[in-house]
Structures are given as C-alpha cells and as structure tokens.
Amino acid sequence: MTHIVTSYASELETLSSSVTQMGGLVEAQLSDVMDAVARRDLALARKVIDLDARIDVYNHEIEADVMNLLALRQPVAIDLRETVCAMKIAHELERIGDLAKNIAKRALVISQQEPLRALNGVIRMGRISLMRVSDVLNAYAQRNVAQAKSVWGADDEIDELYNSLFAEILSAMMEDASAVNACTQLAFVAKNFERVGDHATNIAESVHFLLVGEYLDELRPKGDVTSLTTVPKPDDKAPDPEDKEQP
Amino acid sequence: MTHVESIDVLEPAGDAAGKSAAARELPEQASAPAKFDCSGVNVHYGRNHAIKNVTLKIYDRSVTALIGPSGCGKTTFLRVLNRMNDTIEGARVTGRILIDGQNVYDKTVDPVQLRARVGMVFQKPNPFPKSIYDNVAYGPRIHGLAESASALDGIVEDALRRAGLWEEVKDRLAMPATSLSGGQQQRLVIARAIAIHPEVILMDEPCSALDPIATARIEELIDEISRQYCIIIVTHSMAQAARVSKQTAFFNMGELVEYGETTRVFTNPDDPRTQDYITGRFG
C-alpha cells in the first residue's frame, strides 16, 4: 500500500534509508575499532575517531528530516511511528558511535602498554556486541519483528561475559600493579562494548514499537552485576552477586 | 417536510444480534453510561444501503469524531441521531438508537423535542436572516424558555459568552447576523444551539468553510463546551479529528470499521483500512 502523495512516500523512504546507511557506518566503526584494539593498529584507531564526525552529521540530518516531516506532513499511525523511531534509532546509533570513538582513544593508550590476557575476552565481547548491532539493523531494514525481539532478549550473553571479564581485569591488577593503567583502560573498553549491547537492545525496542505499535513491556533481565563486584580481601567471603540487597 | 416512508425499529434479538459485527464499546469506558447506545443500525435510501449494521456507544461530556471517505455514511449516521433523516424521502432506519436509554425512533418521541435535546451545526454557517440577538433568542422563544424580556436577554448573553462571541458582538446585537464574518457566524450558530440547553451537539464539518484562526476558535469552543455536552463531529480533516476528539469512529462504505480512543486510532490503528485512510494510502 503506497501513499497517494508520492513525495511523502519518498521522504519516508529517504528517512529510513538514511538510518540504515548511518547504521552501516556505525557497524564499520565498531568492526574497525575491534581490529584497532586487537592489532594495536594506531592508524585504524585514528580513522575510527575521524569517522565519528560523519556519523554525527547523519544524526543531525535525520533529526532535520524528522522535524520537517512532523511540521509539514503531520504523519499518523505507521508513518508517525516510522518518523519518531527513525529519530530514536539514529540517536542510539550516534551514542554507539561515541562509544566506538571512546574505545579508539583508549586503544591508543592500551597499545603503548604490555599486552593483557583479558584482551581476548574483550575482543570477543566486542564481536558479540557488533553482531547484536548488525542483527538489529537487519531487523530494522527487513521489518522483522522476530529478529528484533531476539536481539532484545539476548543481551544477557554480553552482560555475563562482561561480569567475568571485569573480575578477570580486577585480578590482573591485583597481580601486577604495573598493569593498572592498561587494565583500567581495558575495563572501560569492556564497559563500552557492554553499553553498545544496551543500545542495540534499545534499538530493538524501537523496531518492535515501529512494527507492532506496542512497547515491549516485559521486564528484560539485567545481567550486569559488576557494580557489586569487588576484589576479595584475604579471609573475606565473596559477596553473592545474585543478592542485590547487599551493598 | 417530507415524511419518511417507514421507520422500522428492530429490537436486537438477544445478545447474538446485539454483539454481531462489532459491538463497539471502549473498554476503559465500558462502565460509564452511554449518551447514545446504538445497536444493529441500518439505513437505506431506497436501494442504497448507506449504514450497515452499526453498533456503538457514544459517551457524554466527550467529543466523538466520525471520519471516513466521502459517501462512507458518517453524515448519514450523524443525522440518524436526531432523526434528521426523517425529512429525506425513501430513508429507512432500522435497529436501535437509545438516548439515555430512550429509543429515539419510538412513536412517542416528538422529533422537534428530540432536536431541542440534540442540536446540530452544519458545514456552512446558516444564521437566520435576522439580527444577531434574534438568532440566539429564536430557540428560547419558541420553546418558551424565558419568562420575561430581561430573562431572554440573560439567556442570549449567556449563550453568546459560552460561544466566545459576546465581546465581539455585544455592541451590535441589533445588526443582521449576516454582517458577521464566516467564523463569527459559525460561533453564532453554535450560540443559537446552546441557547436552548441541548444535551448533545452534532457538528457536520463545522470548520470546512473557515480559515485557520476561525477554526482554532471553534476548536477551542468545542473543547470548552465538551465539559457540559456530548459532542459528535463529522470532519474530513484528520488533523482536526485528532486535535478535538477523545474517541474516533472510522466509517467506510457504510460500515463502522474501527472505533476507539483517538490517541490509539492515530498512533496504532487496529484495522489496515483505518491505517490506509488516515495515512493517505491507496490500494
């Protein structure tokens, strides 16, 4: 079913293809930043940092298009959801871009330090978060509710990986004080990848709302318990991460 | 006035008939009393089946918008509610239309009294060729609502104030109503409807001949008076339906396709036909 006013239809198509293109850039940025961290590739890290400006331009253009559509077309129903969700998804993508840029900056520092064992786990986490972003962008492009919902429900895996990596990085710091600098940077990199997963989940919620018109209202399981993780002191009983009441 | 060929009032045969097609009732208001309770309403103009088995409840102190393409039956349905179709030759109304539990088409109901309870405002402002004052005073006079000249003055002022027109016309009440602008005339017509204290105001595209400022004044007025009255508005402007109404009913080819909270209908309609219509799509 197509619009009677063809220019309106083409404005909506342009909007969603801008979001898809922006998503493609963000995917490339994430993939590059992982390589930059893994291979200690400083040139690639700088490329990732530079790419962020282009992603910001996309975000501003999408915002402007959304404002024009709202002001000039007064979209309703599916068109309204299409318009509003484009802006929300672009905002999430822009945040992912910022996180990738931040990882790239930390990659510049990490590359100057001795290699860390936990790095492999962090790269694995990055791969999974990139996969989530790719999946949710495919769900958006192909209007696939089931795929959006599966991304939404799969954030646990990243959270669990992050929890174990966080503990591993803390232990590495305990073992070798000279690694504290690199370990701290790496912990932030891991946290950033974990946040990328959260943004992919938010995009999945928007895609679901776009296609179904209703919010995913079930409580999504939250798997990040690192705020409760501490390094055990001698003779100290480790806190139970399941017990959220414990300080 | 032409008489109606025949008016059959069919009581729905038990629950099955009453709930047939779609018993349209807003879930969140299901317990609130309905001003109009319509079930199994059919309207024929000769061979033309204009309204097909429409069942819905319309709530008091609320604005309900009827939308749909030209010829979908929305104006016909509006006119069923105060028996305006009685004046159309060959019109036949069947089904049950209750206002406060009383059957609108019952033989004991006087259509003139019914129309005093259920007022109507049309697309083009239609003031009488009389003074501003006499336009508003006309209804209260024929219904004997004022006991004295000063009481009548009070009713006229009150109606004009509630229609948001008093300040603009108080110094020229004796001027012909036709000297007013289109928007002022429409508000005058609404004042004329309000003057006889109706319970329901039916509006058939009340703003289609008005500019955006006059339209905004009418919409503000609709919002204001909807706290006291049941307002049912037919409009071709999707934006207006979205702005002024609490409930929206979408008619297509004589059928009630969808009826629900306006916010839901305009963000997430149930029926693809509603979506295609309000977003301006075609097959």
Task: Tell me if chain B has a CB within 8 Å of the CB of A81.
Answer: yes
- CA-CA distance, A158 to A156, in Å (whole number)? 5
Per-residue confidence (pLDDT) for residue B24, from 0 to 100: 61
pLDDT for residue B7 is more than 80: no
Q: pLDDT tens digits for A161-210?
A: 999 999 999 999 999 988 999 999 999 999 999 999 999 999 999 999 99
User: Looking at A119-128, B212-221, B256-265, which range is the least confident one?
Assistant: B212-221
pLDDT for the residue numbered B88: 87
| pLDDT tens profile B173-228 | 999 999 999 999 999 999 999 999 999 999 999 998 888 888 998 999 999 899 99
Q: What is the pLDDT of residue B33?
A: 73
pLDDT(A141) > 70:
yes
What is the pLDDT averaged over residues A5-26?
Answer: 96
State the pLDDT confidence band at B282, using cuts at 50, 70 and 90. low
Which residues 214-253 on chain B approach chain A with CB closer than 8 angstroms? 238-239, 242
Size of interface A-B (CB pairs under 8 A): 42
Q: Which residue has the tokens 């700088």?
A: A46
Interface contact B276-A79, CB threshold 8 A: no
Write down the pTM of the prediction.
Answer: 0.81
Question: CB neighbours (10 Å) of residue A181?
Answer: 15
Are A2 and B268 a contacting pair at CB < 8 A? no
With pLDDT > 70 as the criterion, what percentage of chain B qualifies? 88
Give the pairing type, strands B102-103 and B91-99: antiparallel
Distance CA B252, CA B91 (A): 19
pLDDT tens digit sequence for A60-87: 999 999 999 999 999 999 999 999 999 9
Token reading at A95: 């945040």
Query: How far lies B67's CA from each of A7, A46, A207, in Å?
Result: 25, 57, 29
Given this model, what pLDDT does residue B32 score? 63
Percentage, residues of chain A above pLDDT 90: 77
In this complex, do B266 and A5 lie within 8 Å of one another by their Cβ atoms? no
Which of A178-182, B63-67, B228-232 is predicted least confidently? A178-182
Interface of A with B in 158-187 (CB under 8 A): none
User: Burial level of A71, CB count in 10 A (0-12/13-18/19+)?
Assistant: exposed
Q: What is the distance in angstroms between the Cα of B74 and the nearest Cα belonging to chain A? A: 21
Q: What is the mean pLDDT of residues B139-149?
A: 92
Which pLDDT band, with edges at 50, 70 and 90, does B269 fall under? very high
- Band (pLDDT 50/70/90 cuts) for residue B13 is very low
ipTM, 2 decimals?
0.76
Q: Does A78 touch chain B (CB under 8 A)?
A: yes
